[in-house]
Structure 1
Amino acid sequence: MDTERMNQFEARVAIHAALADPARLRIIDLLTLGDYSPTELQAELGIPSNLLSHHLRTLEGAGLVTRHRSEADKRRSYVRLAAAALDGLAPGREHGARRVLFVCTRNSARSQLATALWQRASDIPSVSAGTHPADRVAQGAIDVAHRHGINLGTPTPRQLGDVAEDADFIITVCDNAHEELPGLGGIHWSVPDPIRANTTDAFDSAFEDINRRINDLAPRLHAA
């Protein structure tokens, strides 16, 4: 067996070994939906912090997860599933949704892009809202959507309380909104705010991140 094939084989072995533990498999199942802080994972699994740290190190070593700092609280970090880490291994369709609600702080970029991308990927209706809506959608969001052949139309940022319904499948797409509303429920995608840098690259990166996550999630949801 040549070196490249041996490396690929060893990587597969490491992944299967990492997933053999029930707690680590549960962590991966959670991360296939959204990003979690270590504290949130600890609460979900009900295990001591030192044991969670061990599991996360094992998953990182197998190339299954990555971590990055919160843009809101710099002392906080989020764990996310590494891109393409589970090709062919992710759980199947198991969550029902009547409508998907994307939430960010200003409802001016990430949540607007997520709604438009979701409508392209799924027949389940989607809307967006903000905890502190801006006056208008960011021009960078309109431009990046146009570059990718998506027309955002003339959306107006809306207040979360005016949009949310009890049956919504909620996805927060910014750290501020997620940490401001800890009891909101749903799942979280820790997508960096492109408006902070306000560059073409920043908006392209946010678009690609959201698009990948939506393409991963859409096949797992069925209309409720």
Structure 2
Amino acid sequence: MHAEQSDLVRRAAVHAALAEPVRLAMVDALALQDVSPKELGARLDLPSNLLAHHLGVLERAGLVVRGRSEADRRRSYVRLLPETLDGLVPADVRGLARPSRVVFVCTHNSARSQLAAALWARRSPVPAASAGTRPSPHVHPRTVATARAHGLDLVTGGTAHVRDVLEPGDLVVAVCDNAHEHLDRRSGGTSTDRLHWSVPDPVPADTDAAFEEALTLIRHRVGRLAAAVDTAAPGRPA
């Protein structure tokens, strides 16, 4: 079996094991401490036969192991294997290397890319920048107001063209469809150091609500990417 397919099968088995409320509750109970089967059954009000069944499913999925007590060998304790939960992240995310910088790109570099860089600067120590494929002369006033309302510092006071910003080792995140497709044409669709977030442009609506919605969409994505980057090994593949 191909390694990627094997990884999908393994992850599917873990998801299947967790897709049952009792087993998910068992994993939750083991998140901070090791518990004896008897204690676990009492906590979840499970009869011994159901406890044994659910523990068996979790063991076969590689989520928990049982070990004998060093004090009383008649007792055993169930221990969670958190690395199995970490492995639920897709392989291409687990293989992400920490970039030297993250550059957020939209069309005009006046709204989405500016907010993304500001959110990133708050969330991650990895430096951030922003740029546009057809930059406007200035940052949109509602971008400035939205950033100020959320206590965000815009990374720069102006706009810039992507060709003047990108450097080797950058991870590019296109935060709009136009920029993504423009960059795709330039690279021939072969770039591996770029991500795409399809965030609607708030500028045509030009309302506080539209800018707030864009900020919310970007914030969630920034959080997920920053978590992956924070745990990645330094340096990007050649």
**TM-score computed with the length of structure 2 as normaliser:** 0.55
Whichever residue aligns with residue 143 of structure 1, its letter is: A
1:142 matched residue in structure 2: 144
1:97 matched residue in structure 2: 99
1:27 matched residue in structure 2: none
In the TM superposition, what is the alpha-carbon distance from 1:95 to its structure 2 partner? Answer: 2.6
Within 5 A, what are the aligned runs for 1:129-208?
Answer: 129-152=131-154, 155-182=157-184, 183=187, 185=191, 186-208=194-216
1:122 matched residue in structure 2: 124
Give the 3-state SS of the residue equivalent to 1:127 in structure 2. Answer: strand
2:108 to 102, 106, 109: 106
Q: Is residue 2:220 matched to residue 1:212?
A: yes
- The higher radius of gyration belongs to 2
Over the matched positions of the two proteins, sequence identity in percent amounts to 46
In the TM superposition, what is the alpha-carbon distance from 1:144 to its structure 2 partner? Answer: 1.0
Structure 1 unpaired stretches of 5+? 1-12, 18-85
2-structure distance, mates of 1:213, 1:87:
18
1-structure distance, mates of 2:116, 2:156:
15
**TM-score computed with the length of structure 1 as normaliser:** 0.58
1-structure distance, mates of 2:130, 2:214:
16
Give the 3-state SS of the residue equivalent to 2:89 in structure 1. Answer: coil
1:192, 1:206 within 8 Å by CA — same for their partners in 2?
yes
Give the 3-state SS of the residue equivalent to 2:204 in structure 1. Answer: helix
2-structure distance, mates of 1:145, 1:198:
15
1:66 matched residue in structure 2: none
2:67 matched residue in structure 1: none
Whichever residue aligns with residue 133 of structure 1, its letter is: P
In the TM superposition, what is the alpha-carbon distance from 1:90 to its structure 2 partner? Answer: 3.2
Give the 3-state SS of the residue equivalent to 2:203 in structure 1. Answer: helix
1-structure distance, mates of 2:95, 2:149:
31
2:99, 2:170 within 8 Å by CA — same for their partners in 1?
yes
In the TM superposition, what is the alpha-carbon distance from 1:143 to its structure 2 partner? Answer: 1.1
Count of aligned residue pairs for this structure pair: 144
In the TM superposition, what is the alpha-carbon distance from 1:93 to its structure 2 partner? Answer: 7.2
Choose between structure 1 and 2 for higher RCO, CA contacts under 8 A separated by at least 6 residues: 1
196 and 100 in structure 1: CA distance in 2 versus 1, 3 angstrom threshold:
same
Q: How much is the aligned-residue C-alpha RMSD, in angstroms?
A: 2.6
